[in-house]
Amino acid sequence: MERASLTRLRWRLRGAWQWPTFAVLLVGNAVLLCALPLAGESGPDPFAAVVLALFFNLVAVAVLGPALGWLWRRRRPDLPVVVARDRGGTAGLVIVTVVLAAVGIGHHPDVVDRREELATQALVVARYVGHRTEPEYRQYREHLDEIDTMRFGDDLYRTCVPGDMPDRALCLFVRVDQSPPGVTEDPSRAPNQTYVQAGRP
């Protein structure tokens, strides 16, 4: 009886990797999601990254874990069910992390391109405003460090430079799918925040 108890204890110790791995990869996947976003131009904030990482880890344990544990038992019938499930859950956690890293790495070139486009169009706007000699543009030159940008579609940006009045800004449409980028001044002086508050993209 004592020998059987020791055997079960040995198996449990050998099959106790799932939850320590869960805790470590919860932090690791949250950092991964922030550093290598799966979509968009930037990763989630730290709290959202932890929530997403928790979701992915739970999927790994609840969905992949039992399936991989069953496969493990097929190969090792002598393996206790609890150990097989633990190993399946651990393997599922590792697989999810690898998938997140692969998707993030695959999306990273798009992130870099978007950031370069954003920097390029900001430089175009600064040059446009800096080269205008009309007196009314002086107020905008003084606020070039406060520009606000929205993206419309893949290659069109609307960048606004605030002026002396908070509800009026110089807004420019910048197309980055041509060289040099195209610039069109928007007749509307409504800042981008107006569209955000109205629920527009």
The phi and psi torsions of 11 (rounded to 5 degrees) equal -65, -40
Mean per-residue pLDDT for 145-168?
87
Whether pLDDT at 11 is above 50:
no
| SS3 assignment, position 13 | helix
| pLDDT tens digits along 61-86 | 999 988 888 888 888 887 778 888 88
What are the distances in angstroms from CA 43 to CA 52, 147, 188?
A: 11, 22, 32
> Is-contact 83 119, C-beta < 8 A?
no
Taking the alpha carbons of 43, 49, 54, 55 in that order, is the dihedral positive or negative?
negative
The phi and psi torsions of 173 (rounded to 5 degrees) equal -90, 125
The phi and psi torsions of 197 (rounded to 5 degrees) equal -65, -30
> Is-contact 191 169, C-beta < 8 A?
yes
The more confidently predicted of residues 196 and 29 is 29
Portion of the chain with pLDDT greater than 70, in percent: 89
The more confidently predicted of residues 113 and 57 is 57
Q: What is the pTM of this model?
A: 0.68
Q: Where are the domains of the chain?
A: 2-107, 132-197
Question: Which pLDDT score, from 0 to 100, does residue 4 have?
Answer: 44
Mean per-residue pLDDT for 42-46?
84
| pLDDT tens digits along 95-143 | 999 999 999 999 888 888 888 888 999 999 999 998 888 888 889 988 8
- Give strand ranges (E) for the chain: 148-152, 156-162, 169-175, 182-185
Question: Which pLDDT score, from 0 to 100, does residue 196 have?
Answer: 62
Question: Which pLDDT score, from 0 to 100, does residue 195 have?
Answer: 66
Q: Strand 156-162: give its sheet, edge to edge.
A: 148-152, 156-162, 169-175, 182-185
Tokens of 120: 């390029």
The more confidently predicted of residues 51 and 117 is 51
Distance of CA 129 to the CA centre of its chain: 33
